[in-house]
């Protein structure tokens, strides 16, 4: 009863504080609020109920610009900028801005020069590269002197996580803290990540929803204490983790971080997965999160299995497929000159970029359906019955010799030419099992 009364008083006094938010008639921030309350009430009310408003952070505090800012323009007697960058946010949130600049998220705009962007541009076209790729990864925001707000329409709006801003900063805080409420509760939920982390090549949100972590979260949302200022896993909430819990939020031994790479030990994006620099320390950071709810034995078992799946993908499929493609390119066997203009290239791309990633992320986040049926099952199917047959069509001696040696001599691939009865008898023993045992013990 006492806690309920305190909460009610807090709500009442917070409302009174907001109602007493007053400014002088000639104050620039007052003009902003007076106009936007009428012209864009949704935007105004998001701000009005935010922590910014409670702390008297107004429109001009974030959007105010200097005379030398490339995107500055005169608006209703004030010099402002439409774009609010991590550099702007860093005037108050210094640690967070610094961590964002050092994070893997901040590099996401590099897609502009990657194969992903190339494929979108040539197979699709610039409009879909802008609306699709750059909407998540970020774009280079260009200045248009003729535009009312100085921002070129091809690059604005854009809230991509690795946006390249005119002031030189990288990223977009509102990719996670949606404007203009900038709610910490919203950023702590898995939906905050799902704009980008889903789909055929990186279905983290779908994997999370399948896992017991996701199941526990969606059946206990009301117990997650999402609005709390303090949000320490195991202390302020304990029913389930979210994406933020594992990758960013505080534990009893770690402070909150906005550098999302500090707890990730594998790089699962490329053709062949590799351990990150200082991977032992980064794994220890993630294990510390896990240990908030699990025992060390549980955590050790998970990583033992996860690592083995990544090594399986690497050794059985990724490296042999990459070796095959190396021969194909060295021998100049592809019919058409442009990248992705040949069927074999598409098969190889989807093998690692789609199915292979799904398998690795499924194992990482304990989503069994994505690890197998949407993952290694499809990797195997496409490796044996799409990639290899398409390569055979090239009728090249080096390619055929490479494939023959792999299928006849590698114990991981010899199953194709072996009697079913013998295979069943040796599933947990024999040469094949010895190879897989090695995958469990790689460092």
Residue 28 confidence (pLDDT): 67
pLDDT at 25 over 50: no
Q: Express each pLDDT in 360-398 by its tens digit.
A: 999 999 999 999 999 999 999 999 999 999 999 999 999
Q: What is the mean pLDDT of residues 297-317?
A: 98
How far apart are alpha carbons 103 and 258 in whole angstroms?
7
Residue 27 confidence (pLDDT): 64
How many CB atoms within 10 Å of residue 224?
Answer: 22
pLDDT at 219 over 60: yes
Residue 3 confidence (pLDDT): 55
pLDDT at 100 over 50: yes
Residue 189 confidence (pLDDT): 97
32 burial (CB, 10 Å; 0-12 / 13-18 / 19+) is: buried
pLDDT band at 35 (very low <50, low <70, confident <90, very high): very high
pLDDT at 57 over 50: yes
Least confident of 243-247, 384-388, 420-424: 420-424
**Contact call for residues 215 and 367 (beta carbons, < 8 A):** no
**Contact call for residues 391 and 408 (beta carbons, < 8 A):** no
How far apart are alpha carbons 374 and 386 in whole angstroms?
16
Residues of the chain with CATH 1.20.850.10: 201-443
Q: Express each pLDDT in 11-22 by its tens digit.
A: 444 444 444 444
How far apart are alpha carbons 182 and 10 in whole angstroms?
20
How far apart are alpha carbons 129 and 120 in whole angstroms?
5
Domain 201-443 falls under CATH 1.10.630.10 = no
pLDDT at 2 over 80: no
pLDDT at 272 over 90: yes
pTM (2 d.p.):
0.90
């Amino acid at each position: 009863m006492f806690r309920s009364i305190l909460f009610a008083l807090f709500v009442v006094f917070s409302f009174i504080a907001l109602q007493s938010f007053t400014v002088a008639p000639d104050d620039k921030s007052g003009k902003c609020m007076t106009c936007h309350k009428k012209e864009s009430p949704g935007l105004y009310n998001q701000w009005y109920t935010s922590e910014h408003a409670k702390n008297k952070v107004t429109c001009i505090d974030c959007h105010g610009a200097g005379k030398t800012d490339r995107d500055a323009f005169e608006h209703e007697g004030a010099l402002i900028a439409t774009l609010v960058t991590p550099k702007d946010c860093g005037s108050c949130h210094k640690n967070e801005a610094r961590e964002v600049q050092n994070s893997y998220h901040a590099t996401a705009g590099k897609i502009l020069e990657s194969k992903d962007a190339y494929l979108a541009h040539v197979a699709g076209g610039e409009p879909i590269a802008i609306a699709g790729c750059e909407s998540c990864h970020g774009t280079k925001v260009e200045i248009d002197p003729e535009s009312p707000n100085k921002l070129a329409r091809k690059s604005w709006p854009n809230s991509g996580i690795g946006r390249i801003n005119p002031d030189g900063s990288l990223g977009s805080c509102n990719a996670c803290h949606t404007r203009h409420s900038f709610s910490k509760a919203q950023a702590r939920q898995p939906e905050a990540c799902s704009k980008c982390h889903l789909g055929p090549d990186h279905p983290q949100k779908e994997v999370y929803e399948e896992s017991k972590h996701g199941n526990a979260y969606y059946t206990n949302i009301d117990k997650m204490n999402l609005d709390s200022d303090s949000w320490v896993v195991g202390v302020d909430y304990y029913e389930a983790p979210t994406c933020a819990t594992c990758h960013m939020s505080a534990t009893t031994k770690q402070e909150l971080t906005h550098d999302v790479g500090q707890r990730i030990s594998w790089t699962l994006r490329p053709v062949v997965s590799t351990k990150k620099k200082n991977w032992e320390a980064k794994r220890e950071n993630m294990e510390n999160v896990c240990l908030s709810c699990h025992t060390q034995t549980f955590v050790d078992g998970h990583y033992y299995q996860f690592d083995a799946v990544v090594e399986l993908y690497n050794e059985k499929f990724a490296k042999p497929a990459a070796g095959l493609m190396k021969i194909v390119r060295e021998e100049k066997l592809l019919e058409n000159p442009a990248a992705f203009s040949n069927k074999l290239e598409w098969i190889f791309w989807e093998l690692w970029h789609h199915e292979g990633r799904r398998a690795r992320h499924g194992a990482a986040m304990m989503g069994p359906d994505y690890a197998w049926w949407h993952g290694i099952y499809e990797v195997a199917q496409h490796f044996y019955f799409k990639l290899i047959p398409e390569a055979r069509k090239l009728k090249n001696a080096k390619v055929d010799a490479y494939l023959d040696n792999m299928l006849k001599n590698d114990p991981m691939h010899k199953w194709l030419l072996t009697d079913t009865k013998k295979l069943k008898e040796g599933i947990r023993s024999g040469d094949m099992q010895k190879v897989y045992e090695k995958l469990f013990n790689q460092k």
